[in-house]
Structure 1
Amino acid sequence: MNITRENIDDLNAVVKVDIAKEDYEGKVDKILKDYRKNANIPGFRKGHVPMGMVKKQYGKAVLVDEVNKLLQDSLNKYLTEEKLDVLGNPIPKEQENFDWDKENYSFEFELGLAPEFEVNLDLKEPVTKYNIVADEKMVNKQIENIQKQYGKLKSKDVVEEGDVVAGTFKNEEEGIDHETSVELENIKGKKNLNKFVGAKVGDTIKLNTKGLFEDDHALINHLDIEHDRAHDLDIEVEFTISEINERELADLDQELFDKLFGKDKVKSVTELKEKIKEDAAKQFQQQSDQQLMNDVTEALIEATKFELPKEFLQKWIQTVGEKPMTEEEAKEEYENSEKGLRYQLIEGKIINDNNLNVNFDDLKAFATDKIRQQMAQFGQTDPSQKELDDIAARILSNQDEAKRLSEQLMNEKLLNFYKENMKFNEKEVTYEEFVKEIYK
């Protein structure tokens, strides 16, 4: 067997594999002899079928199968030994009038080669790193939500602002007939709110769904409709009141603090505010980190320039799906996935150049930490190490779970690497300001 490579350019190559009769003959003969021993052909005793008949019936199929196996094994071995960094998979070149009756064969494969490039983390325009803080407005809102959650509902006769009104939304033509409770503070606009204020049990109010709630998604639950339907829904509905309640806020006392955080963990409103800020900071850190990762990814793609074997990749995309694609479909798919491929290459380069690998000990420690956090959420704050190790072993024995955790850990390693090795424009914002900036 002989394998040679012709480099078309820096990103494309053709590999030629020459297979001679002596490369496959021994394996083919052995398989045919085994067939002969076990063949059941009418008119012949088992094991006494003439070899010529066996070859005639099975020879071509066995030959093709063994040559293809030999071809794939030798090609994979060649790519590994030559340390060729290929994109996609080798594409066999079509050969007209290929003749399996010959004894020697030649096959050619197109290769798409990964480009060589360097990643510069010193960006001309540094990425913004957000530090999200809980401002007084947010803390007070959270305290109010806690008081509402642990407060009581007191029945009343006439609706006033801030009440909770139970009733049924109806629209016969649209098939809407749903019982629900409406927090009047979530009603949008004074005009809509005024329709409720002063109403009594049994009254029916006519409302328009467009702009009825602060968030259109509230229509999903209040009208019992699908997500897509809720967006820009503009119909008239009737709301018949069945119950009116005034929400009495819970007192900010030690009983409430103990119920929220455990015995004597929080002893004053000041400590409650600090606890809310502390918990919010942890939650905000996750969102800030995710946004930082997104922004660094975009910035590195933009700053790291290199060519790709575009035509090869489009051709490869045509062949890899369950159904073959047309050239136009493959071109569109390539354009949609090109940015992701570029970052995969950039990320791989960073990982390899900086030895950011995930080993089993890292993965086990990461999984154990995740398990400990989850158990703490359910009140199990002091699990034994054996218990943690047993759960981690079960999780990591599942390939899909192990892969998912490994990807999370690598993502964390990359994020920490970026934080340590890149310069950022640090910006302190409230959560409201953060949302406005990100989704502007």
Structure 2
Amino acid sequence: MNIIFENPDKVNGLMTVTVEQGDYQADVDKALKDYRKKANVPGFRPGQVPMGLIKRQVGTSVKVDVVNRLLGEKMYEYIRENKIQMLGEPMPNEKQVPQDFKTDGPFEFIFDIAVAPELDATLTDKDTVDYYNIDVDDKLIDQQVEMFQSRAGHYDKVEEYDPAQNDMLKGDLRELDADGNAKEDGVVVESAVMMPEYIKVDEQKALFDGAKLGSVITFNPRKAYPENDAELTSLLKIDKEAAKDMTSDFTYLVTEVSRFVKGEVNQELFDQVFGKDEVKDKETFRKKIAEGIKSQLANDSDYKFLTDLRKYLENRVGELQFPDTLLKRLMMNNNKDKGQEFVESNYEASVKELKWHLIKEQLVAANGIKVEDKDIKDVAVQVARMQFAQYGMSNVPDEYLENYADSILKDNKNIEGFVDRAIDIKLIAATKNVVKLNEKNISLDDFNKMMQEK
């Protein structure tokens, strides 16, 4: 088999592969013999079908399969051995002519190869990249304490509604007719829950001020929620179509007033957040909260570092020459249902991501980064821990986290994302030890503003 690779401009490659009879014949003969052993042809015992008949029946198709398999194997072997950094897959060249597989060949195949441009993303201690340390101040700790208090809170029954306390009401709703009487066959909802503080119109909201057990308030749900049919359907238990035409007044008989009370900062809260007897006083409680916040914010700082590193290297590498025509053909092949317009409108963004992908590949290779099963599992556990933390569960045992991580990993759709995250974690750690960090302290508010501006 003869392979010729031409790459005059470094990015547009042309590969010509010539397959001779001697390259494929032995494999074809073996495949035909195997087929003959299994062939079931009327009038012949198994394994006794004449080879001439076998060749007439399946000889050409077997040859096509063998040649295509050898073609793929040898092409990719050549690409690996010659360290050709190919983008996408080989594509048949427009000069390719149909091959007559009824003959013995030789068969010639011509492929276009999109080759990655050369670049240098080497990092040393002479490269400087910003690194933002986010301050963990009392304000952040107070917010976290308040969040834990809210999650540990409860509702107490009270006598009178106070809008400043964001009280919750429960009562019976009844639709009224034009004369202000209970409407026959009108909408009736028992034990309807309302939080008047969330009513959009102040005039309607004020009708509930000073409400007590047994109070009857007349209000108009449509006026209270003028632009939100979802609120009406939920409150009145009606469908969307009925909500569109609902303009009636309603009475609301208050049967219960509840006030939310935050949990106290005491041993019960300490145990709930960090586990029994892990924390004994408020000072230690706040210290452990600060440690948790610092760990979370370190991930944000690392993410910002990686985005800054990307920008730094993209600027340093400069403009790259890509095989635009070939890449657009590749995009079109992968998005046939979306058309050429999709390719043209998304090509620039795609090439931008490809540039970073190539830089990142070089960094990964230079730092000897490899991702193993344990790294992927660690990322899944980290995701599990973050998901539990969102619900205030910061003391979930490792056994539960690992079991939950295992269940996440069973979904193959998650694997690629976890692999990418594992690579990023290792890449951040490696490059932080290579470049010079221009460390800056910043508040969380200023950090978030900076990220939003980016």
TM range (shorter): 0.7 to 0.9
**Which amino acid in 2 is paired with 1:363?**
D
Mapped to 2, the partners of 1:330 and 1:195 lie a distance apart of 57
Alpha carbon RMSD of aligned pairs, Å?
Answer: 4.7
Q: Match for residue 209 of structure 2?
A: 197
Which residues of 2 match residues 81-92 of structure 1 at below 5 A?
81-92=81-92
Mapped to 1, the partners of 2:85 and 2:35 lie a distance apart of 41
Mapped to 1, the partners of 2:41 and 2:397 lie a distance apart of 69
Q: Which is further off, 96-105 or 43-52?
A: 43-52
Q: 1:35 to 1:263 in 2, by over 3 A?
A: closer
Q: Match for residue 112 of structure 1?
A: 114
Q: Match for residue 424 of structure 1?
A: 438
Q: Match for residue 164 of structure 1?
A: 167
Q: CA deviation at 1:264?
A: 5.2
Q: Which is further off, 50-59 or 72-81?
A: 50-59
Mapped to 1, the partners of 2:2 and 2:166 lie a distance apart of 84
1:338-386 Cα deviation digits (max 9, x unpaired): 22211111100111122223356x63894798599799956536x7xxx
TM-score by structure 2 length? 0.73
Q: 1:265 to 1:52 in 2, by over 3 A?
A: closer
**Which amino acid in 1 is paired with 2:397?**
Q
**Which amino acid in 1 is paired with 2:78?**
Y
- Is the 1:126–1:425 Cα contact (8 Å) retained in structure 2? no
Mapped to 1, the partners of 2:235 and 2:121 lie a distance apart of 52
Mapped to 2, the partners of 1:129 and 1:115 lie a distance apart of 30
**Which amino acid in 2 is paired with 1:110?**
D
Is 1:96 aligned to 2:113, yes or no?
Answer: no
Is 1:380 aligned to 2:397, yes or no?
Answer: yes
Which residues of 2 match residues 255-266 of structure 1 at below 5 A?
255-262=268-275, 265-266=278-279
Q: Match for residue 232 of structure 1?
A: none
Q: 1:415 to 1:56 in 2, by over 3 A?
A: same
**Which amino acid in 2 is paired with 1:81?**
E
Q: 1:312 to 1:152 in 2, by over 3 A?
A: closer
Mapped to 1, the partners of 2:443 and 2:284 lie a distance apart of 23
Q: 1:183 to 1:76 in 2, by over 3 A?
A: farther
**Which amino acid in 2 is paired with 1:139?**
I
Mapped to 1, the partners of 2:362 and 2:248 lie a distance apart of 58
Which residues of 2 match residues 262-301 of structure 1 at below 5 A?
262=275, 265-301=278-314
Mapped to 2, the partners of 1:191 and 1:389 lie a distance apart of 53
Mapped to 2, the partners of 1:427 and 1:392 lie a distance apart of 34
Which residues of 2 match residues 42-61 of structure 1 at below 5 A?
42-61=42-61
Which residues of 2 match residues 184-263 of structure 1 at below 5 A?
184=197, 194-200=206-212, 201-206=215-220, 208-209=224-225, 240=252, 243-262=256-275
Mapped to 2, the partners of 1:344 and 1:223 lie a distance apart of 51
Is 1:308 aligned to 2:322, yes or no?
Answer: yes
Matched residue SS, 1:349: helix
Mapped to 2, the partners of 1:372 and 1:328 lie a distance apart of 40
Structure 1 regions of 5+ residues with no counterpart?
213-217, 230-234
- Is the 2:273–2:394 Cα contact (8 Å) retained in structure 1? no
Mapped to 2, the partners of 1:435 and 1:188 lie a distance apart of 29
Q: Match for residue 344 of structure 1?
A: 357
Mapped to 1, the partners of 2:202 and 2:132 lie a distance apart of 36
1:247-283 Cα deviation digits (max 9, x unpaired): 3444444454445445554444444433433332222
- Is the 1:119–1:350 Cα contact (8 Å) retained in structure 2? yes
- Is the 1:315–1:327 Cα contact (8 Å) retained in structure 2? no
Q: 1:195 to 1:307 in 2, by over 3 A?
A: farther
Q: CA deviation at 1:307?
A: 1.9
1:68-98 Cα deviation digits (max 9, x unpaired): 1111111111111112111111112243353
Which residues of 2 match residues 57-72 of structure 1 at below 5 A?
57-72=57-72
Length, aligned pairs only = 417
Q: Match for residue 182 of structure 2?
A: none
**Which amino acid in 2 is paired with 1:380?**
P
Q: Match for residue 363 of structure 1?
A: 375
Percent identity reads 29
Mapped to 1, the partners of 2:47 and 2:275 lie a distance apart of 81
Structure 2 regions of 5+ residues with no counterpart?
176-186, 241-245
Q: CA deviation at 1:138?
A: 3.9
Is 1:17 aligned to 2:17, yes or no?
Answer: yes
Q: CA deviation at 1:312?
A: 0.9
- Is the 2:131–2:301 Cα contact (8 Å) retained in structure 1? yes
